[in-house]
Amino acid sequence: MTADRCVHDLVAEQAARRGTAVALVSGPDRLSYADLDAAATRLARRLTASGVRRGDVVAVHLPRCTDLVVALLGTLRAGAAYLVLDPDLPADRRAALATAARAGTVLGRPLPGLRHVPVAADGGGPVGVAAADSPRDHGAAPADEPAPGGGVRTGGVSLAGNGSGGSAGTVSGDPGDTACVMFTSGSTGAPKGVAAPHRAIVGTLTGQDYLPFTADTVWLSVAPVSWDAFALELWGALCFGGTCVLAPGSRPDPLAMARLVAEHGVTAMYLSASLFSLVVDEYPAALAGLRHLVVGGEAPSPAHVRRALAEYPDLVLRNGYGPVEAMVFVTTHPVDPAADGPVPIGTAIRGKAVHVLDERLRPVADGTVGELYAAGVGIAHGYLHDPAATAERFVASPYGPPGDRLYRTGDLVRWHADGPLEYVGRADAQVKIRGFRVEPAEVEAVLTAYPRVRRAAVAAGTDHRGDRRLVAYLVVDGTPPGVDDLRAHAAATLPDFMVPTAYVPVASLPLTPSGKLDRRALPGAVPEPERDTFLAPSGDPVASVVDTAEPGSSADASTEPPSGPGVPVDVVGVLRRLFGEVLGVPSVGPDDDFFALGGDSLSVARLLIRIRATLDAEPGVRAVFAAPTPAGLAPLVAPEDAAESVAVQHIATPADELTPAQQRLWFLDQVDAGLAYTMPILFRWRGAVDAAALRAALAEVADRHESLRTLFVAVDGRPVRRVLPSVRPVLDVVVGDPAATVEAAARYRFDLAAEPPIRATLCTDPTDPSAHALLLVMHHIAVDGWSLPPLVRDLSTAYAGRLGTRGSAVEERVTRSPDSGATRGRSLHMPEPHLDASTPRTAPTQSARVAPRSVVEQGNEAGLAYWVERLRGMPEGTALPRRADRPAVPAADAATVLRRLDAAAHGALVELARRYGATPFMVLHTALAAVLSAAGAGPDVAVGAPVAGRTRESGDAVGFFVNLVVLRAAVTAGDPVGALLHRVRDADVAAFAHQDTPFESVVAALNPARRPGRHPLADVVLALQNNARATLRLPGVAAPMEVVRTGAARFPLLVDVTDRYDATGAPAGVELTVEYRTDEFAGEVMAWFADALVAVLTALPAHEDTPIGALPGVPPLPPGCPPATAYDPLPTPETVAPHRIEGADGGLVARIAAIWADVLGVPAVGPDDDFFALGGNSLRAVRVAARIATREGLAATANHVFTAPTVRGLVRVLAEVGPAAAAPIPRRPRVPLRTKGSGD
Amino acid sequence: MGTNPFEDDDATYRVLVNDEEQHSLWPVDVTVPAGWRVAVEAASRADCLAYVAEHWTDLRPASLRR
């Protein structure tokens, strides 16, 4: 049978078959199968030469890295079994485990008393393994060191003369040989070493279908290296030719995980149920792109499972169950998102069996609770050097082949009729903490070894979050010991998951009538860590703030907390708050220990995510363990730029997930909006310029603003943000005609997956060498209008800093000028209802929201309901005098018409707005509605409007936050101006009160017909540019920003309004830019449109009672104006797909239908079913296109799905398109990624 | 669900051994499964486990040791 093989033989086969394939990825290291196998073989020879024999146990003392894997494989190849000793375990425990396993040799880092063999031979090491920052372990032991020094060899088990190597120096083993020893908590007070044969590993992986054990699977290894789940991640990849990406460290770091998943295209992963819940709560983007996920260790939360599947409907999610004694999984269950209640543990995997038995070892009836006994290929030999414990847990089987054994799990389960197994609980005291098995007796044994602790009882309680924590109840003699001392004592010998969170002194422990500890009588909840009690961690509860400008300064250096805008962040204060949030503790002192307050590795992960979101820093898991207090962590959180102002922090997006607004823009970029979202801005001045300083300043600005060094990478058609640690934006230096240079450079098309979304051109006029033009070109996904003033200000500052004229740029960061907020806050804000005292004051709450947008989205059902109600039944497109010869899919080519209102007219409009409790925007909207009505738009007029989308947190951060709202108003020519203005105001007030609802959600909910080349729901857009103007300030120069148009239109018709105010705040005039698609409208019609708009705006203030259709001065429609039409009817499936598809392309139709069904999450898709009617949206269209391109080699784009939204139609379109010349979705570049502080 | 049949300190047990010389504690009132012989007929739990500790010195299946 194929499963009966040795692990290393399967890996060697893969090395022979695909030697150059990447076996391992670890930080910057890549190791091919050939190199891995060669390194392991060399190591095996050295192990054999040093005296290791078949049947020995070799301790491998390394963190997760390529050397660890070389060590494991080399050990197996030498015929020995490996014991992984995680360096993160306490030293005492590592030593105890090595002793208990009677390991005589240690690979990797030395351990006292064990013969040390380095993984790599002296003198350079195996090719491909070495990397500058991988942990090296060159020890003193030369390869030919003679047999055992101080180490203890396993007595009685090694077989002298048998298998001590062949000519290859490696051992041909038996699948029954022990491959690994894994320790688990022991109920007798000492850990138990589970000795598992090769057969158990190989049988668990081979011929299985619960996960894809194939060569094209990319695994991410995040499980603790001492777990059996690590064997799954590692050998599940290496025995089958797949790639295993090794996450750094042994403690969960979802931020690092998410990056690795995105960067390496990870497709399969195992997560403990508690880590899974954390990821879903805090960082769901870490699952983006993943295909297969198994959750295990304990029962997963059904709510989290459902949320994950709702977010990633393509994810194949299984619940896995199995104790280490039966190797990784005994049963698995494919999760059905529609099912209610607890997630079942499923049915046995191939080669394994489960029996649910009663107290007489008889099978129980379906639905009756019994104890689970596991059998089959995964069963371990037993507990190493503990035959008695083995004989009571691995017992004779009445149900298998003669002589077979069962492993008695202690888990209580029941069968569902005809269905899977359901987990019920434990038959004994064992508890699971974050998926780790803990026998309370083992913890109790450690605690009672402490002076004055007479008795101890340990039980699992639940904390504020519902997570299980260990609570120790102690009977002590005399004065209770300090909790810190107890904790330190426990942590010195126990792994962190076994260290109790709380310590409660009790007079006595509850006993059963027979005198045993009555665990059920122990309290269930984890006590709140309160101060001034036995439980209190040491530390001053009164706030003290450490001066963060002095890294390493310790606890008591208190200063007053700074306050006010633009001051350094009180990093310690922020950390104290975050500690409290994560731990559910009301007040955290600067010197309170994270772990003393109940922190564990999962809450560390949670903390890290929040630190990144709040402070834009990634200290890494190790930093928190090394410095677990707010004061201690602060210098690590802000390493160089010790004090950064809140204002420059990017928005608290808790993920590498795109905001809805970014998703919208990313999608438009993908469907080839061309240049429409390229944002060029120009500065011109006379004087000197230092190009090198400017280039350095650009890099500094990009360093500072994350959005300027963020790539948007498509993973299976889904966008994921990838933040680069630093970038150097391009600055082209040109001597040439400024106008031509700028025009050409402004038409830059960014590849969002491959380059930072900012670049610049510096042009000097050869006829006038003192005249310079600086063109900054950005992609809208990284900046919006509100971003420009802070960005340009930072550029000015950085440039000055580079020139050395104004002190260091870092100082400048500390004292940010607060002026931008004040400027923006002036009168003409994007309309908000609070301008009118009579309107409901809902907006301030909305605009002051503190949650990031993705969170808001979840809680924004009321907003969505408003929009669905408000926009239901809206006509598709606006009836306007469109060109008769317009193409079906209009191009983005744009033209503009410019008009101006003078200061007097502007003043009259402002005054009119004031009289009606409206904003100038609402007056503009009224005027636009009147002109659209005059143009033939009919009585139901919708206008799109961008809103800033900024919160207090986003402040003046550089980024793309803009949302789009659709303003709908009833308009007839007979409406008096005043009445219409009232109506528009009321409609706008209500709409802006719901401006937080992402436009994408509204589109998804309304599901209007999608049309290629068109923005859904928004045909005509009105924008009031009320963001502050940017000014580039160079030494001696102040150059105002000029907007450069790219010639590409985002909308069919955009009315872009800029209003100006003089130094006293008085209205100084309005500029109107009408930008339109030339495919859609004729120039003379748009000239009329602009003239009519000016005429209406001019007439409004003095004609409040006049019907808007009868305002004076409004010109008639130009002669020959085409009739007003909305959109053409959508093509029907019949017209798209006329004939004969089934013949040649029937197979393709079926395959594409299958892709649709998969992406849409529906059972089947017919050839004429409409993609969008089935729940498709723009992002899903991108996914479909990506898969078609990958699997069929056709150059499909999302636009094709829009053009032909049925499978049959799409096949026809694709037949014309032909094969993909290149992948239509830009491939992600292999830019090296490093995370701060995560290196091992 | 009563007490697990292997966890009753007051009950009487057997020690079973199979062809691989693997040992198993076994409740005295449950039929001995096929492929197992009785090494200890009836004894206390502690005595049975002491017997196992003394006689089962190598966890590996016997076929691997031969």
- CATH number of the A431-542 domain: 3.30.300.30
Nearest CB to B34; choose among A178, A390, A402: A402
Residue ranges of chain A that CATH labels 3.30.300.30: 431-542
Q: Which residues pair with A457 in a beta bridge?
A: A473
| Residue contact A176–B2, C-beta within 8 A | no
Does the structure show a pLDDT above 60 at A846? Answer: no
Banded pLDDT at A790 (limits 50, 70, 90):
confident
For chain A, residues classed under CATH 3.30.559.10 are: 660-824
Q: Please determine, for residue A806, whether its predicted confidence score (pLDDT) is greater than 60.
A: no
CB contact under 8 A, B1 and A396: no
pLDDT at A1102 over 80: yes
A89, pLDDT greater than 80: yes
Angle between helices A920-934 and A1083-1099 (to 10 degrees): 130
- Residues β-bridged to residue A1070: A901, A1059
B64 touches chain A (CB under 8 A): yes
- Beta-carbon separation of B15 and A391 below 8 A: yes
Would the pLDDT of A219 be above 80?
yes
pLDDT at A713 over 70: yes
pLDDT band at A626, cuts 50/70/90? confident
Of A806-815, A1042-1051, B27-36, which has the strongest mean pLDDT?
B27-36
- For residue A843, pLDDT over 50 is answered with no
The string of DSSP letters for A478-503 reads: SSPPPHHHHHHHHHHHS-GGGS-SEE
Confidence of residue A715 (pLDDT cuts 50, 70, 90): low
pLDDT score, position A654: 38
Query: Does the pLDDT of residue A478 top 70, yes or no?
Result: yes
- CB contact (8 A) between residue B52 and residue A391: yes
Residue with tokens 């509605």: A929
CB spacing of A405 vs B24 below 8 angstroms: yes
In Å, what is the CA distance from A594 to each residue of A497, A627, A742, A899, A1136?
14, 9, 55, 62, 63
Domain A1140-1217: which CATH class?
mainly alpha
Window A:378-397, CB contacts with B under 8 Å: 381-385, 387-388, 390-397
Mean pLDDT for the stretch of residues A576-584 = 85
- With contacts defined as CB-CB under 8 Å, which chain A residues touch B34? 402-403
| Tokens describing residue A1099 | 């007439």
Q: Would the CB atoms of B35 and A404 count as touching at under 8 Å?
A: yes
Whether residue A55 lies within 8 A of chain B, CB to CB, comes out as yes
A210 pLDDT higher than 80: yes
Q: Is the ipTM of this complex over 0.95?
A: yes
Amino acid at A830: M
pLDDT 10s digits, A348-405: 999 999 999 999 999 999 889 999 999 999 999 999 999 999 999 999 999 989 999 9
Residue in chain B nearest A194 by alpha carbon: B59
Give the DSSP letter string of A1187-1223. HHHHHH-B---HHHHHHS-SHHHHHHHHHHH-B-SS-
| Cβ of residue B22 closer than 8 Å to a chain A Cβ | yes
One-letter amino acid of A524: G
The model's confidence at residue A1239, banded by pLDDT at 50, 70 and 90, is very low
Greatest alpha-carbon pair distance for chain B in Å reads: 42
CATH 3.30.559.30 correct for A847-883+892-948+963-1028+1050-1110: yes
Phi, psi of B17 (to 5 degrees): -135, 140
**Tens-place pLDDT, residues A463-477:** 766 677 888 989 888
Measured N-to-C along each axis, helices A273-282 and A601-615 cross at an angle, to the nearest 10 degrees, of 10
Report the relative pairing of strands A1020-1024 and A1037-1040 from DSSP bridges.
unpaired
The Cα–Cα gap between A929 and A1111 comes to 13
* Residue in A194, A359, A394, A426 to test binding to B, most B beta-carbons within 10 Å: A359
Yes or no, beta carbons of A358 and B7 under 8 Å apart? no
- For the domain made up of A7-138+150-410, give the CATH fold: Rossmann fold (3.40.50)
Residue with the bigger pLDDT between A449 and A1144: it is: A449
Query: Would you state the pLDDT for residue B3?
Result: 74
- As a whole number, mean pLDDT of residues A500-504 equals 85
pLDDT in tens, A1030-1050: 888 888 888 888 888 888 888
Which of the residues A157, A390, A394, A424 would you substitute to probe the B interface, choosing the one with the greatest number of B C-beta atoms within 10 Å? A390
State whether residue B65 sits within 8 Å of chain A by CB: yes
Say what percent of chain A tops pLDDT 90: 33
Q: Residues 132-161, chain A: which have Cβ within 8 Å of B?
A: 156-157, 159
Choose the closest CB to B25 out of A157, A395, A404: A395
A406: closest CA of chain B, how far (Å): 10
- Neighbour count for residue A1108 (Cβ, 10 Å): 27
B18 in contact with A, Cβ within 8 Å: yes
pLDDT-derived band of residue A1092, with 50, 70 and 90 as boundaries?
very high
Query: Does residue B8 belong to the interface with chain A, where contact is any CB pair within 8 Å?
Result: no
Nearest-by-CA chain B residue for A413:
B1
pLDDT confidence tier of residue A944, bands split at 50, 70 and 90: very high
Confidence of residue A1063 (pLDDT cuts 50, 70, 90): confident
User: What's the rounded Cα separation, in Å, for the pair A793 and A1041?
Assistant: 11
Higher pLDDT, B21 or A835: B21
Q: What value does the mean pLDDT take over residues A431-436?
A: 86
What's the whole-number average pLDDT of chain B? 92
What is the location of CATH 1.10.1200.10 in chain A?
569-641, 1140-1217
Min Cα–Cα distance to chain A from B20, Å:
8
Question: Under CATH, to which class is A660-824 assigned?
Answer: alpha beta
Residue pair A270/A236 in contact by the 8 Å Cβ criterion: no
* pLDDT above 50 for A924: yes
The total number of residues shown for chain B amounts to 66
Q: Which residues of A touch B61 (CB under 8 A)?
A: 176, 381
CATH of domain A569-641: 1.10.1200.10
Triad A101, A103, A109: Cα angle to 5°: 120
- Per-residue pLDDT at A906: 92
Select from B24, B32, B50 the Cβ nearest to the Cβ of A394: B24
Least CB–CB distance from A177: residue in B2, B31, B64: B64
Q: Give per-residue pLDDT as tens, A313-355.
A: 889 999 999 999 999 999 999 998 888 788 999 999 999 999 9
In this structure, how many other beta carbons lie within 10 angstroms of the beta carbon of residue A284? 22
Facing A396 at nearest CB: one of B24, B56, B64: B24
Measured between beta carbons, the chain B residues lying within 8 angstroms of A402 are 18, 33-36
| Selected residue with higher pLDDT from A515 and A115 | A115
Nearest CA to CA, how far is B36 from chain A (Å)? Answer: 6
State how far Cα A671 lies from the chain centre. Answer: 24
Distance (Å) from the C-alpha of residue B48 to the closest C-alpha of chain A?
A: 9
Nearest to A403 among B5, B20, B31 (CB): B20
- How far apart CA A1236 and CA B17 sit, in angstroms, is 56
Residues 6+ apart with CB under 8 A from A1219: A1193, A1194, A1195
Residue of A nearest to B5 (CA): A359
Tens-digit pLDDT profile for residues A143-186 = 333 333 333 333 333 323 333 333 355 677 899 999 999 999 98
Q: Is the pLDDT of residue A196 over 80?
A: yes
For residue range A249-291, what is the model confidence (pLDDT) as tens digits? Answer: 777 778 888 888 888 889 999 999 988 988 888 788 888 889 9
Tell me which of A383, A395, A406, A408 to substitute to probe the interface with B (most B C-beta atoms closer than 10 Å): A395
The overall average pLDDT reported for chain A is: 78
Question: Is B60 near chain A, with CB under 8 Å?
Answer: yes
Residue of B59, B63, B65, B66 to mutate, interface with A, max A Cβ within 10 Å: B59
According to DSSP, the residues that pair with A682 across neighbouring strands are A775, A1042
Q: What is the pLDDT of residue A362?
A: 93
Determine the length of chain A: 1240
Work out the burial of residue A25: count CB atoms within 10 Å of its CB; fewer than 13 is exposed, 13-18 middle, 19 or more buried.
buried
pLDDT at site A560: 36
Tell me whether A412 touches chain B (CB under 8 Å).
yes
Closest partner residue to A359 among B3, B23, B65, by Cβ? Answer: B3
Nearest CA in chain B to A404: B35
Name the segment(s) of chain A with CATH classification 3.30.559.30. 847-883+892-948+963-1028+1050-1110
| Residue scoring higher pLDDT (A1177 or A1222) | A1177
Tell me which of A72-86, A298-312, A524-538, A577-591 is least confident: A524-538
From the list A36, A65, A22, A89, the residue with the least C-alpha distance to A1239 is A65
Of the partner residues B1, B19, B26, the one whose CB lies closest to the CB of residue A403: B19
Range in A978-982, A1131-1135, B2-6 with the lowest mean pLDDT: A1131-1135
Say what the pLDDT of residue A164 is.
35
| B15 contacts on A by Cβ (under 8 Å) | 391
- Whose CA is closest to A797, among A700, A714, A725, A928? A700
Model pLDDT, residue A1219: 60
Q: How many CB pairs under 8 A join A and B?
A: 112
Nearest CA in chain A to B65: A159
Task: Reply yes or no on whether the pLDDT at A554 is more than 90.
Answer: no
The interface residues of chain A toward chain B in range 414-473, judged by CB-CB distance below 8 A, are 427-428
Q: What is the pLDDT of residue A850?
A: 30
Flag whether residue B58 sits within 8 Å of chain A, measured between CB atoms. Answer: yes
The 10s digit of each residue's pLDDT in A871-898 is 888 877 788 898 888 877 777 788 999 9
Q: Of A1023 and A244, which is predicted with more confidence?
A: A244
**Cα distance between the two ends of chain A:** 40
Residue B22, min C-alpha distance to chain A (Å): 8
Say what the pLDDT of residue A131 is. Answer: 32
Distance CA B54, CA B52 (A): 5
